[in-house]
Amino acid sequence: MTTDAFWEKPLNELTDSEWESLCDGCGRCCLKKIEDEADRQIYWTRVICRYFDEQDHRCTCYKERSTLVPDCLNVRQMRIEENMHWMPETCSYRLRAEGKALPDWHPLLTGGKEAMQAAGISVGGQVLSEDYVHPGGQHEHIIQWVKS
């Protein structure tokens, strides 16, 4: 295996920089989710964390995110296999944990975000900041275009 294809290594063998670059920046993990506690069904909403920057496809407070947003998923520290139901089916970390390859549109394979955006993976232009949604009103924004 070449070091150029580091994304093919098991997740626990990735360096910090390799881990960070595995993220495609789609923003789907930053969408607010509602869990039906009766059947553990996850409903995705178009409501996104206030710290997500749609232009840069990144968290504006990444290093402080766990403090500022206590329910933010810290993928590096969690047990992915036990928490996959909280991750989008297109998530690179989830795919690699399942032993699957990255999709053809992934920025590591294409060299940019254009293919990801063309594939409809990016949340850009489809979301509403949580700043504009009453916490009790998130259920009014349930979407079908993200699956877990």
pLDDT digits (tens, 9 = 90+) for 22-71: 999 999 999 999 999 888 889 999 999 999 998 888 899 999 998 999 88
CB-count exposure of residue 77 (10 Å: 0-12, 13-18, 19+): exposed
C-alpha–C-alpha distance, residues 43 and 45, integer Å: 7
pLDDT digits (tens, 9 = 90+) for 77-110: 888 888 888 899 999 999 999 999 999 999 999 9
Nearest to 24 by CA among 99, 94, 100, 86: 94
Full 3-state SS string of the chain: CCHHHHHHCCHHHCCHHHHHHHCCCCCHHHEEEEEECCCCEEEEEEEECCCEECCCCEECCHHHHHHHCCCCCCCCCCCHHHHHHHCCCCCHHHHHHCCCCCCCCCHHHHCCCHHHHHCCCCCCCCCEEHHHCCHHHHHHHECCCCCC
As a whole number of Å, the CA-based R_g of the chain is 15
Task: Tell me: pLDDT of 142 over 80.
Answer: yes
Distance of CA 113 to the CA centre of its chain: 15
- What pLDDT is attached to residue 1? 39
User: Mean of the pLDDT values across residues 122-127?
Assistant: 93
